[in-house]
Structure 1
Amino acid sequence: MNSTPFSQELQARIAKYDLLSHPFYKAWSAGELSRDDLREYACQYYHHVAAFPTYLAQFAVRLEDSELRQAVLANMADEKGLRAGETPHVELWLDFAEGMGAGRDLRGHQPVAEIRDLIAFFHHIASEGTPEEALAAFYAYESQIPRLAGEKARGLRDMYAVDEKACRYFALHTTADIYHAQVWRQQLDRRVEADPGTTEKALDAAEAAAKALWRALDGIEAMRLAPTT
């Protein structure tokens, strides 16, 4: 990864909302969540996981046929499991949800406001943001996933004795999103270098994405800590 001023500022903006530092994920790593907590998390975050391919489709349809468009479509193919022998990522997520005691049909589940806001943010940035803004937002998300997925998988195995089927989503994303994040950065760096005037909007979009992801966890954590009646 290069160490230009843009790169340093981009990483600093994202690090302000480093998801591994969120209280909910700290509780996960420490084994402090109940199965009910994990099940509700799986149901809540399902909505974002299920929507992710649509964000990519909204972005791709706006792009001319180019290396960038092909990269977006390749990422979408990965998410949808379109290649032989692959499984749609949302199905892997549902394996996790099922392992936590949820059903596989979560379409009727009602997400909290912060999850709805997260989904609305990515729909907006993908369909109306500049290419640089969309790339920065996707990078802010997928660059954090490998560390998050690795720690979640460790916690599930070590703290909650979860079977491998329920861990498959996280095991896959420990490595898959390293490549995806690299692609987003390469494309973003290239465009910002060609047009430095796009720098601030890209940085703002990355920070906004990281903040939306953090706030989504705030909503889930608030549910966990709410007094029971």
Structure 2
Amino acid sequence: MLNKQDFFDALEAARKPRHGGGHPFSRMWAQGALSREQLGRYAVQHYYYIAPIPQQFAALYARLPDLDARQHLLENLLGEEMPDTPEKRHPDLLINFAEACGLTRDDVVNADLRDEILPTTRAMRAWIWELSTIRHLAESAAGIMVALEGQLPTLYPAYVKAMRKMGFSEEDMEFFHVHIEGDEEHAHIGLELTDRYATTEALQERSIAAVRASASLRWSMLDGIQAALVVPKAA
């Protein structure tokens, strides 16, 4: 088995080749090359991906055997749902961003009913359900917390910088701010939990593979969004 630090290094290395910040769509966003309409349509896809995260985290919470792990995930879950200030739920903050881009709440919430959700977005959401419900806990922690939450503190600042130049207010961008502030800690705890539950060499290998899979699926989701929103359609 890898020692703890080497395992951490391997998990983080598995994320790097498909880190969302390197995707052409992300680079265009960071360069200010996307319109408000394109960003709003991105938000439609991202909303479909993240809308069930509270339920997914609840399913994972029920599987965790350790009190401290459950307490952390409960904090994460409450951060998503915001029971004291429900208007600050993360999915609702994303709707606020979409509205700042010129879309309506209906455009976002009911996109699935209009068959506007891309197959790659559906695959991303389905993978999180798989990690939350049936994969080994080491894979769950690695695939969700290390691979995905671990990207956002280094991904979203470039988005925010570009959007400020476009005239978005800090309130418009609150969805991005809360993830910059919170997900660095989530990723660190994800490493610790992955190490705790990956008790064999085989589980370490499966955890590393889960990071690669999550990063690749997220990259594919961005591929789909770029193809739909940026690449001109043939006449």
TM-score (norm 2): 0.90
Structure 2 distance, partners of 1:228, 1:81, is 44
| Displacement after TM superposition at 1:190 (Å) | 2.5
> In the alignment, which residue of structure 2 is the partner of 1:211?
216
Q: Contact conserved, 1:140 with 1:207, CA < 8 A, in 2?
A: yes
> In the alignment, which residue of structure 2 is the partner of 1:63?
64
Q: Which moved more, 1:55-64 or 1:107-116?
A: 55-64
> Identity, % of aligned pairs?
29
> In the alignment, which residue of structure 2 is the partner of 1:118?
124
Q: Contact conserved, 2:50 with 2:125, CA < 8 A, in 1?
A: no
Asked whether 1:130 is paired with 2:132, we answer no
| Displacement after TM superposition at 1:182 (Å) | 1.6
> In the alignment, which residue of structure 2 is the partner of 1:20?
21
1:40-72 deviation per Cα after TM superposition (whole angstroms, max 9, x unaligned): 101111111212212211211223362222222
> In the alignment, which residue of structure 2 is the partner of 1:35?
36
Q: Pick the aligned partner of 2:193 from 165, 171, 187.
A: 187
Q: Which amino acid aligns with 1:103?
A: T
1:25-46 deviation per Cα after TM superposition (whole angstroms, max 9, x unaligned): 1001111112221111011111
Q: 1:84 to 1:44 in 2, by over 3 A?
A: closer
> In the alignment, which residue of structure 2 is the partner of 1:143?
150
Q: Which runs of 5+ in 2 are unaligned?
A: none
Q: Contact conserved, 1:77 with 1:83, CA < 8 A, in 2?
A: no
Q: Which amino acid aligns with 1:43?
A: V
Runs of 4+ in 1 over 4 A off after TM superposition: 83-86
Q: Which moved more, 1:80-89 or 1:92-101?
A: 80-89
Cα RMSD, aligned residues only: 1.9
| Displacement after TM superposition at 1:95 (Å) | 1.0
Structure 2 distance, partners of 1:170, 1:188, is 26
The alignment covers a number of residue pairs equal to 226
Structure 2 distance, partners of 1:92, 1:219, is 23
TM-score (norm 1): 0.92
Q: Which runs of 5+ in 1 are unaligned?
A: none
Q: Which moved more, 1:59-68 or 1:170-179?
A: 59-68
